[in-house]
Every structure is written in C-alpha cells, then in structure tokens.
A and B are shown apart, each in its own frame.
Chain A
Amino acid sequence: SSKLTQDPAVSVALGQTVRITCQGDSLRNYYVSWYQQKPGQAPVLVIYGKNNRPPGIPDRFSGSSSGNTASLTISGAQAEDEGDYYCYSRDSSGDHPFGGGTKLTVL
C-alpha cells in the first residue's frame, strides 16, 4: 500500500474550484510535487516545492500544505483538466512513493 494516500476520484463542475488532497507522514518534512496524467500520455509536473508551477502550467493550478496533508487546488476547472493526478514525495527512509492517484472528472 502507498505511503501517500489520495482519494480515488473527485468531480467538479466546469468553472468551479476543486481540491485534491494527499496525506502522508513524509509531508511534514518534504514538499509534495503533483503530476497530471491524461490517458495514453506521460505524467506532467504541475506543482513542485512550496507552490511553484513549471513554465506553461496555467495559474489556476496551485499547491498548499499543512501538517501531513498537501493539496492541489484547481481554481476554475476546465474540461482539459480532466485526468489522473498523482502526488509524490520522498521520505526520510530513502523511499520515493507516489500516491495512488485521483481521477478528476469535470462535469
């Protein structure tokens, strides 16, 4: 089982705000990074560090963290945001686990 826990599925109405969460003890010491994956494609980094977006990632994507829980927020979700979202964080044992993934549906 994953050391990082995500809800399997989340849905959001078009244009509304959605939060995807990731829980794990390692998040108290390490920042999480978030990846978007669409069917048949490689994952794409959308958030890293405290709250950084790589070039080309829309500013509707943001990240936050408190205690053992990290969140990815999409403010004003678009149809193209549908996909699977994975969190990742290394831990102090040297492991590099991913969360189980959250399937986002935009209604």
Chain B
Amino acid sequence: QLQLHESGPGLVKPSETLSLTCLVSGGSISNTIYYWAWLRQPPGKGLEWLGHIYFGGRTFYNSALKSRLTISVDTSKNQFSLNLNSVTAADTAMYFCARHKSLARENWFDPWGQGAQVTVSS
C-alpha cells in the first residue's frame, strides 16, 4: 500500500526558506502515470494546491507562489521535496504531500501524507 510521509522543520523564521521532504514508500516515485504534489492548509482554512512534479523533473506551480517555490524529485531516494523561500506568517500551515493523477478530464490526489505543521515565527 502506497504511503507518503512528510518531514522537515516545524518552525521557520520569517524571510527564511521552508524546506520539506516527502518520502514515498510501498511504490515507486518513477511510476509513469502519476505526479507528486504538495498542498497546504492554513489553520482553520481550506486546501491550497502548491504544485506538482513528474519523476522526470517537469514541474507545475501555483502561479501565486511560483516566484518563491521550488519542487524537486530524487528518484534514487524515492522522495520529492518542497522549498518555499522568503516566508511570512501567511505561510504558516499544515503541509501535505500527495500522489496526483492527471488524465484528460480526471484529476485527483490520493493518497495523502499525514501532514507536517510548519509555523513561521521569529
């Protein structure tokens, strides 16, 4: 059964870079039919797609975050990562990674990791 697990610092200072890694187990990140996504949820608010990556490295980013966001993949470690620079308090959120299927009219995220809480504060 495919599982995803986020890891990284829970506290980041304003203006610094938020870095998270998602380890994929129970399946290969090099599966040709899936992408690998990052999403987040600020406290008490809804879900926001940040971006996703194909195992070959092609990336897709939320236009509102594109200038600050980098998603990368390491197939040798079966993991992918997120870097968000110049963070502010508005980036405080639960960050999730998920497998993403994008096929013609069908698009979905499944499964999701359990989430990693990141707080931006000095």
Measured CB to CB, the residues of A under 8 A from B are 2, 29-31, 33, 35, 41-45, 48-49, 54, 86, 88-90, 94-101
B34 contacts the other chain (Cβ, under 8 Å)? no
Q: Given A42-B113, A88-B108: A97 and B60 within 8 A (CB)?
A: no
Q: Given A2-B46, A43-B47: A94 and B110 within 8 A (CB)?
A: no
Q: Is the CB of A86 within 8 A of B107?
A: no
Q: Given A42-B114, A43-B47, A98-B49: A30 and B107 within 8 A (CB)?
A: yes
Which residue of A is nearest B113, CB measured? A42
Q: Given A30-B105, A96-B62, A96-B107: A101 and B47 within 8 A (CB)?
A: yes
Which residue of A is nearest B103, CB measured? A49
Residues in B whose Cβ lies below 8 Å from that of A29: 105
Q: Is the CB of A95 within 8 A of B63?
A: yes
> Can you name 5 A-B residue pairings with CB atoms under 8 Å?
A43-B96, A45-B108, A48-B110, A90-B107, A96-B60
